[in-house]
Structure 1
Amino acid sequence: MTQLEDFIFMTGKGATPKGPRPFLDRFSVKTLHKERLFRSDPAGYEKFIDWVDIEAGTFLTRKESPRDVPNYLKRTLLEKLKGSVEAGEAHWRSKIEPLTHFEDPVPQLREITQRIVTYKRADGTPLSFKLYLPPGYREGEKRPTVLWAYPLEYSDSETAGQVTKSDQRFLRFWGATYLHYLLDGYVVLGGVGMPVIGDPDTAYDTFIEQLVSCAEAAINKAVDLGVTDRDRIGIIGHSHGGLMVATLLAHSDLFRAGIARSGAYNHTLRPFGFQHERRTLYQARDTYTRLSPLFHADKINEPLMLIHGAADPNPGTVPLQSRKLFEAVRGTGGTVRLLMLPHEGHGYRSREGIEQTLADQLTWFERYVKNAKQGKKEK
């Protein structure tokens, strides 16, 4: 937020039912009137970066699309549009001057297609995921599928159902991203909606049930679209997403295998709250133990890979969390592998750490998802 005299300038992601459209607004602190100076075109993704000269009305934006590399533009406000303007659209016309001309560093990735898919879980909560189809995909093919998600907390279903992902972004790979599975022929469901909805003081009492319902809804939608083989689905998550993976493997039979990275699996090791759980262990003992996959390790009968940075400084996800779940699953007869990455923190940054993670992730799902035998085990 920036201020000039009696005006405050505000930017935002601009959530819409079809995905975000970033904007720049001007608000008068005297008249309380707000007008939109700029809004991203729906055919692309353009966001405000910073002012060049606020008094002259010039500012920087960065624009991209699924086919166009992100490049920087200079916009200059010209005049206010006459007549009525459609709700949410810009009230001002601006002149565009391209500043950069970056080229596509990996044109091979443009063969990947992406789109936003919306659906509802059993209780009517609106959800969405970003569907990625691999190079060479043909309509009607049911491919092995990887689901990536991260649970988030909300107080109501309307807020939880906002579409925060865009299918107008330029696709790039970074680090140990799950998107590498696309180059191995998998369909990928990215950013799958996993909301935990309820009173902030008690929402985690239904954490397991809500995760299972969200996962079921996403899988059913992907199968209905004709892109996913229901018998060959793997799930992967990092940090709180790692807890999600272990929880879903322990309390459902939806996946062939899972990969949990840098997660926490025994909440009694962090007794004074976790994520947005406000109660302590001593106030909600049953919730802490019920939500700890370590106490349900005997129910994890799908292959589970655990990955953790050996120097993880996050107090909630100390490396001991993965070591103990590994011992518990192995000790109860489950199929489990533990990969400890030397010198890595909560995220993985070194070339060696990233390459090892990618190699092991691809190998794990190659064996237990892509080449899985027909039919699933019953819980």
Structure 2
Amino acid sequence: MKIYFFVYFLASWACFLWGQAPAKKLLTQNDYLQFTEMSTPILSPNGKWSSFKLFSQETVDTVKVVATDGSKVYAFPESYGTNFSNNAQWFAFKNQQKGFGLLNLNTGKLKYNLDGTSYKFSEDGNLLGLKTTGHHGNSPKGLLLYNLSKNDSLFLEGVSAYNFSPNSKYLLYIASRNEDVSVNLLNLSDGSSIVLNERAESYSKLLWSDSGEQFFFVQNDSILYYGNAQYPTKLISQSLKAPLFKNMHIGFLAPFFSKDGRRVFFYMHRKIIPVNANDTLPSVQTWKGSDKWVYPRKIIESTPENWQMLCSWNPIKRKLQQIASPEKPQIVLTSNQKYALRFNIMDYEPLYLQHPKVDIYLLNLESGEEKLLIAKQQTGGGYIQLSPSGNNIAYFNGNDWINYSISKQQFTNLTKRFTTVLYKEKHDRPEPLIPYGMVGWTQDDTGVLIYDAYDIWHISINGKSYKRLTRGRETKTVYRLPTNLLKGYPPIRTPEFYSYEIDLSKELIMSIKGTDKSSGYAVLSPNGMIKNFGIFASKSHGLQKAKDGKAYVFITESPNTPPQLYYIKDSEKSTKLIYQSNPQYKNFVNGKRELITYKAGVWKNLNGILYYPDNYQPDRKYPMIVKIYEVQSHNFYNYCFPSLYTRDGYNPESLTAEGYFVFEPDIKYRIGNPGISAVECVTAAVNKVLSLNVVDKDRVGLLGHSYGGYETAFIVGQTNIFKAAVAGAPVTNMLSYYLSINSDDGLPQIWRMEHQQWRMGKSYFDDPEAYRQNSPIEHIKNINTPLMIWEGDQDRNIHWFQSVEMYLALRRLNKVVTFYVYPGEAHDIDISENQRDLSQKIIEWFDTYLK
């Protein structure tokens, strides 16, 4: 009996264990290799397929193609350069080993071309152009033209450039055979081809009008050609050797057609006179105090007379026009291309601002009449918008949105009746007031849509009526329109003027951000009803809409769940999970995180993210690393991929896996006291966490990079609560940094100190004591915290001599300091071996002093 009882008990016990989920493992560095990050998805035009890339530093990148009904998943390792055809029947990509790949989405058939390089689909998706190198087998160099609908192909030898017409009727291409170069036009319906021009040294800038009937190209950078596809032999040519363009040649920027196809806009550039080879003496640099820009910036960006000048050509009227000039080189065309805004970003320099103020002039391109429209207008993203119709111009004057009607020549204050503040009133940088934004124009310019802190407003074009479309203020929920889903008008080279057309008679998709840091999407119906979709306790991003229907994909992620791809066929229906990245995450312990609320001085309800150690046990106290950089709590719902390959050596998961608490507190600032503000916020935040009685107060470290490196270097000179610290690429001497130049853009760093991150609000010479009080080097004697500093010796943003100053000062005072300099690296670490090395050194540094 005893034996039988023992067997029964053992069997029952085994069944009980077998029915349980396997115990989760603690992450180790070897496990990091299993995790991949996920790119923003793309969606096929019919919404039936989505594609994205999975990538990491130590595994091959893999392209995934997923059927949105969940029926199929394709994987293509070592691939990139993906695209769907517009008819949604084909998926193309490049593969590092196999060359060009083409997947038939209807049949699943896949084929490769080892010799294929770049490719293009025709607009209708029935044709594919594939450039071949001639490096494999006996295939020559040229263009392989696939007729995907008929399953046949045509090879065009020696093709160096090509362009499908938007109506998919024609192919314009440049071909070389022997010593002859020609521009050719291929009729894609009957296969007939004609030579448009030949025996030139070179051709370039093949261009089609929106209709696909007019084409354009350039010969030898000196002759313009315009043609009509229906009458291809009747080309119109125009020499650029006119007096208007003396000592100039065509610029490198791409030309573009007017909307009606009757004009071509192109860029001209002044010829650079080569330096005399016999002149062996170097030129002496001249740095004048009266110069608008300092000499290094002039070398990097040149000066207006050497900039790309926008011009136009009306081939029918044989009219050439230079729209830009050295006096007004910046040009923004209205969408109907009847007018141009002209200005010069050097008007009021030196201003020591990130974005300059300018005088904006309105030029009538037909009559040549010009007038000053707006004086001393602040530039930068979101200050000026041109309506998609081309009839109106709206701008933010620092308090209100003003509209100018070109036809009526009339200014209207659109928001004078508003009591809601339309600019970021709590912005803690001494910059010009920043508007929450104007998202675009309703159809036929009947009104505009603008933002306040939370909501979207519709305002009539006469400013007499307005309506709040959302109700976010009541719950402090922020509503915005994802602009990638809207039809926009893209002014050339001026993205800050980008405007969108909004149809309120159709549903609008909105993004939502809640006070708990979560985000999602909602649909605004024409009747004003709002319905949420994709709302989880998570971060939602990457929303894409199918071109031909109401289908969407988007990504969600949360602290405990890696990115998931969701699909929704109609915004009124429920969402469906179609892909879960990193399914192995369920096998590992994922440390808890929570949002900590604290106050510091005048700042109430500050937040910080507290990450728990993966091996957390309530009866123990753990070391903690505090990572600082302005406001960070918006990252609360980000999934943290474990990795040693980061550009600043910091990854919270790699530290929690090593048994650390990690804390990311928000920092707010008082103008003129950035360092002191950081001390107040960080010490208050740390004390709040210590009050939870889970962290050992004698084992707390501090970590920061760039501006966070500055804050770290300053804080350790003000308090001894940190037992070890790491400062990456820090500013350590406020005066020497203030009087330095960023070698990347040639800008003096004065603007950063006075108006941007350092928030001093005035020049050093107006308040030198404030600069000294907030400068780490001035408090170096007070540092008792072992400090690790790291930098790249090619850092052109914060010169690595800033770190050298700190190191030498600490060394002279016999303080504990170690300085790591990475040769060839800049402000961030880009070489993967160096990334891993830095991550390991940071862990070892904290292990030494906190464990």
TM-score bucket of the superposed structures, by smaller chain: 0.7 to 0.9
Query: Is it true that 1:50 corresponds to 2:544 in the alignment?
Result: yes
Structure 2 SS opposite 1:244: helix
Give the counterpart letter for 1:367 in structure 2: T
Aligned-pair distance for 1:39? 4.7
Residue 72, structure 1, aligned to residue 565, structure 2: yes
TM-score with structure 2 setting the length: 0.37
Q: Show the counterpart of 2:839.
A: 358
Corresponding residue to 1:194 among 662, 667, 681 = 667
Alignment pair present for 1:60 and 2:553: yes
Q: How far apart are the structure 2 equivalents of 1:74 and 1:232?
A: 46
d(CA) in 1 for partners of 2:600, 2:711: 17
For 2:514, the equivalent position in structure 1 comes to 15
Determine the structure 2 residue equivalent to 1:340: 821
Cα distance in 2 between the residues matched to 1:34 and 1:281 = 53
Partner Cα distance (1:288, 1:105) in 2: 51
**Alignment correspondent of 1:90:** none
C-alpha deviations, 1:122-152, integer Å up to 9, x for none? 4352111111111221114211110011125
- Change in Cα spacing, 1:58 to 1:255, as seen in structure 2 (3 Å) is same
Select 1:172's aligned residue among 624, 628, 641: 641
Aligned-pair Cα RMSD in Å: 2.6
Moved more, 103-112 or 116-125: 103-112
Q: 1:241 to 1:25 in 2, by over 3 A?
A: farther
**TM-score normalized by the length of structure 1:** 0.79
Amino acid at match of 1:58: A
SS at match of 1:270: helix
**Residue deviations 1:5-49, cap 9 Å, x none?**
523956445131x22223345487xxxx86545454343333352
Aligned-partner residue type, residue 45 of structure 1: K
Return 102-111 or 117-126, whichever deviates more: 102-111
CA distance in structure 2 between the partners assigned to 1:35 and 1:237 by the alignment: 45
- 1:234 and 1:347 map into 2 onto residues whose CA distance is 22
1:211 aligns with 2:678: yes
| Partner AA of 2:640 in structure 1 | L
1:365/1:292 Cα in 2 relative to 1: closer, same or farther (>3 Å)? same
Partner of 1:374: none
Match of 1:6 among 487, 499, 503: 503
Alignment of 1:116-195 (within 5 A): 116-151=595-630, 164-166=634-636, 168-174=637-643, 175=646, 176-179=649-652, 180-190=654-664, 192-195=665-668
* Deviation (angstroms), 1:362: 1.4
- The one-letter code of the counterpart of 1:15 is G
Q: Per-residue CA shift, 1:231-262, capped at 9, x if unaligned?
A: 11000001000011011100122211110001
Q: Secondary structure at the match of 1:345?
A: coil
**Alignment-derived partner of residue 801 in structure 2:** 320
Q: Give the helix-richer structure, 1 or 2.
A: 1
Distance 1:111 1:5, change over 3 A: closer
Match of 2:783 in 1: 300
Query: Which residue pairs with 2:574 in the alignment?
Result: 95
Does the CA contact (< 8 Å) of 1:11 and 1:25 recur in 2? Answer: yes
Q: Distance in 1 between matches of 2:554 and 2:502?
A: 23
Q: SS at 2:549's partner residue?
A: coil
Give the gaps of 5 or more residues in structure 1: 79-92, 153-161, 198-202, 371-379
CA distance in structure 2 between the partners assigned to 1:165 and 1:69 by the alignment: 14
Q: CA deviation at 1:369?
A: 2.2
Give the counterpart letter for 2:816 in structure 1: T
Q: Is the 8 A contact 2:533 2:574 kept in 1?
A: no
- Partners of 1:288 and 1:25 lie apart in 2 by 49
Distance 1:178 1:102, change over 3 A: closer
Distance 2:588 2:725 in 1: 25
Maintained 8 Å contact 1:243/1:260: yes
TM-superposed CA distance for 1:106, in Å, is 5.5
Report if aligned partners of 2:518, 2:538 keep a CA contact under 8 Å in 1.
no
Q: How big is each residue's C-alpha offset from its partner over 1:147-173, in whole Å with a ceiling of 9 and x where there is no partner?
A: 011125xxxxxxxxx95233x432213
SS at match of 1:145: strand
Post-superposition shift, 1:263?
A: 1.3
Alpha-carbon distance, 1:105 to partner: 5.6
How far off its partner does 1:112 sit?
1.7
The change in CA–CA distance for 1:11 and 1:261 in structure 2 (over 3 A counts) is: farther
Q: C-alpha distance in 2, partners of 1:34/1:348?
A: 49
Q: What is the CA–CA distance in structure 1 between the aligned matches of 2:783 and 2:684, rounded to whole Å?
A: 21
Gaps of 5+ in 2: 1-482, 488-500, 739-749
Match of 1:70, SS state, is: strand
Deviation at 1:293, TM superposition (A): 0.8
Q: 1:98 offset after TM fit, Å?
A: 3.5
Rounded Cα–Cα distance in structure 2 between residues aligned with 1:284 and 1:250: 21
Higher relative contact order (CA 8 A, sep 6+): 1
Separation in 2, partners of 1:108, 1:229: 29
Shift of 1:350: 1.4
8 Å Cα contact 2:518-2:537 kept in structure 1:
no
Structure 1 residues 247 and 13, CA gap change in structure 2 (3 angstroms): farther
Q: What one-letter code is carried by the residue in structure 2 that aligns with 1:252?
A: T
Alpha-carbon distance, 1:284 to partner: 2.8
